[in-house]
Structures are given as structure tokens and as C-alpha cells.
Chain A
């Protein structure tokens, strides 16, 4: 939140003053409502003044719960309690249906009204994508729930939660991306790009993976390479920082793509890349589907990062790697301009609604059911989009 900054504080005040005055003139009912609220507050002050709350230790602000109100419920409530004019009852003694404890809110999916990852308004989502996003990032839902299941790879909600801004990307997300793109490649006539999972590089660096073990483990899902294969993408991790190794078999070079350039780690990363290339050299002849000329991969020239990409935080490096891999579907370059919340959300939605996701129908069904409990989020999104489109119209007019 940019609440501390001068612009954040100043901007709404000036715009609001004009808008609120307009709002009152244009909507007399709102004016009536506001004066009612004001009167309600004043009445409470009179009645509550003799009964101050006891002093208590704890955090400064605690959200105690949320009550979504439909217009009909609001009216009923207004008639029964708020407009009676009698002494207001202390909030703690109100009936449970009106006052939901925050802990209870987190346990019961029926009353969840917020998300771990707010949907950025600048991205365009279809209704299915929107409800699935709400379901994946709904606060308080089961972390172990499997949302994506594809070729033996399971993507749990906690893995998706790592796509939230400011969080380091979980290995599982990159594995799912590799699996998704590999299967997409398999649907084509010839597999031109091979995506190896992050697990592959990790086990090579830490456990002395043998060629046979690698084939047993990864060949079926990730190594269906054709003679036309031109590139191999391997996400690698170095000190919680992700970088992508692209082995270009045509131009005979190994390109290291890293979002966050760390000068002191360059030599270490190059060493890791050399180990990987040597291993690929041994592995290539054993691949059944490989019947073309096998180049000497270990002798490939290692290309330093083409340019410094603009990731400012280490946590973003994983999302950059995902974006580089997704980009190969459309372009033959690595010019990812930026990675923001919208791209992180898009990655999640794409994986959840992937046609290769066995759980797709189940997740979608549950998401639609869940959407009834978070209609205000969906409503806000559509309102924000409408507002943005109106602004765009004004600008272009």
C-alpha cells in the first residue's frame, strides 16, 4: 500500500471533495443515507458514553469479521435494529450470525470474503478465469487441496499461493509450467522445444543424478525430444534466486537468463551451467527419440545475460522464468519487458484452466460454487474494469 506517500494521501482528497459534493447533489438518497448514518452515530454516542470499553492489550487494529449484505437483508436489518432508536447493544453481545469471528471466518469457506492475492484490475479476465482465481486465492481455504493434476504432477493451493506478489515462487509452479508447455509441445507434430523441470537441475546438483535415473524419471513427461528439437529450457536455482538456462542446439550456445543480475554469483552459476551441459552431453545419446546429429553440448559457448532485466526483488525471479518460458510459444526472443501482479495472476489462471489439467472440471465446478460466496470481489472487478474502459473512452475521444 502506498498510504504513506504524499500522492496517495493527497490524491483522493481533492478528487473526492468534488465527487462527494456532486454525488450528494446527484443522488439525494445517498445524502439521506449518510445523514441517517450520522444520526445513528450521534445516538450511539449519547447512549454509550457511560459505558467505556475496558483497556486491553493487543494489536492496534483487528478485523473481527465480515458480513456481506444483500439489499433485502440490509432493509430488514435497518428496520429491526438500526432505526429503532433504542440503546445500541454492545457489538460483542450481538448474535453470532451478525458478527463473525475472524478465526471462524477462516475455517468456514461459506463466509470467506477476501483473497490472498487481489485481482489486479488492469488484466482482462473472463468469468471462468475470474472465479477460478477467486477460488485459488480465497483466504482460509484448504492449502493442501489439489487444484492441478497433470501427468502425475500435482499442484496444490499452497503452491499457487507462492504466486502472490512478494512471495518466492515455489518449485511446484515451475514444474507445472514445464509440464504444461511440454504437453503443449507434444500436441504438435514435432517437439521443437524441450522443457525440463526445476527438479531435474536440483537433483543433478545435489544428488549426483545418473543418466538412467534421469531417463526413468523425466523421459515420459518431459523428454519426448524429436530430431527437430532446437532448444532445451532448464530452470535452475541459485540461493533462492531462479534463472533460466536455454540450450540452443541450432546456434550452439547456452544462454543464461537471469532477472536479477548478481555479479558475485556469476562464476558460481556458470559452473552450475557447465555441469549441466556436461550431463546433457552424456544424456543426449541415450534418448530414444533422438535420432538426429548429436552436437557436443558441453562445448557450447555460454552466453552471458543479454541485458539486465528489471526485476527489483529476488522473489520475482521465478515469475520471470515462467514468463520467458511462456513467451517461447509466441516469439523467438527473450524480451520480457516486465513482470507484475497481472502476469503472476495470468500464470495461475493459465495453469488452472489448462486443458491438460485432469482436475480442471472439478476445480471449475467448485470455483463456480465458491463464487456465490465472493460475489462482491467479482462485482468490484467488473466495476473497476468498467471504470477503466470509461476512462479509456474519455482519453481516446
Chain B
């Protein structure tokens, strides 16, 4: 687990789907390494509009990000890319 809080900032990019239009949307963030990722997720949802955090699956290095994790815990570094996939239900 995380040792002690760090105040180092990293820049990350969240790439999300733009559903029916078939395009993608990039949102850039600056985040503290010790900040729980739910803050970034919430900021992303606010930015996108329409959806809430639980509607998205945030993927980093093919792993699902949990809201309580911090960038340091998942070894996220400056310039890394997070994929935001819309949870799909139904057939």
C-alpha cells in the first residue's frame, strides 16, 4: 500500500468513447499522486455531462481502476492514458 502522502503531480489523459458518433474524446487532467482516483473520475463525468461515475469503467494498463486507488498505487506516471468505457447492459 501507499507509504506516505506525496504532493507530486502527474498529467494524465482520459480517453472516452463518444458513443453513436464513433469518435473519441480526450480530457486532460493534472492529479496528485496521492489523490484517490474517484476525484478524477468524478471530474471526468462532470466534464462529459450526462453520466455518473458508476456508468463508466476506467481502464489503465488493462486493469479496472477502483475509485479508492491512487495513481501511485497503480503505478501511474506522467503522460499515461486511461480509457473510459461506458458500461453496457442488455444484449
* A residues whose Cβ falls under 8 Å from a Cβ of B: 1-3, 8-9, 11-13, 15-17, 19-20, 23, 34-35, 37-38, 40-42, 44-45, 48-49, 51-53, 55-58, 60-71, 74, 88, 90-92, 99, 113-115, 118-119, 121, 375-377, 379-384, 386-387, 390-391, 394
Given the complex, which residues of B lie within 8 Å of A66, measured CB to CB? 25-28, 47
| Interface size of B as a range | 35 or more
Given the complex, which residues of A lie within 8 Å of B52, measured CB to CB? 1-2, 8
Given the complex, which residues of A lie within 8 Å of B20, measured CB to CB? 379, 382-383, 386
Of the candidates B7, B62, B87, B91, the one whose C-beta lies within 8 Å of that of A38 is B62
Give 7 closest A-B pairs by Cβ, nearest first. A383-B19, A60-B35, A64-B28, A390-B90, A16-B57, A376-B18, A91-B11
Q: Check B79–A88 contact: CB distance below 8 A.
A: yes
Given the complex, which residues of A lie within 8 Å of B48, measured CB to CB? 113-114, 376-377, 380
Given the complex, which residues of B lie within 8 Å of A40, measured CB to CB? 81
A sample of 24 cross-chain residue pairs with beta-carbon separation below 8 angstroms, ordered by A number, consists of A9-B68, A13-B64, A23-B88, A38-B61, A41-B60, A45-B77, A48-B77, A53-B10, A53-B78, A56-B9, A61-B35, A68-B26, A91-B78, A92-B11, A113-B25, A113-B47, A118-B50, A119-B49, A375-B18, A377-B49, A379-B19, A382-B19, A384-B51, A390-B90
Given the complex, which residues of A lie within 8 Å of B86, measured CB to CB? 383
For A52, give the chain B residue with the smallest CB separation: B8
Q: Is the interface of A mostly helix, strand, loop or mixed?
A: helix
Known contacts A11-B54, A382-B20; decide if A64 and B83 are in contact (CB<8 Å).
no
* B residues whose Cβ falls under 8 Å from a Cβ of A: 7-11, 13, 15, 18-32, 35, 38-57, 59-62, 64, 66-68, 75, 77-81, 83, 85-91
Of the candidates B30, B60, B67, B80, the one whose C-beta lies within 8 Å of that of A62 is B30
Known contacts A1-B45, A40-B81, A88-B79; decide if A377 and B50 are in contact (CB<8 Å).
yes
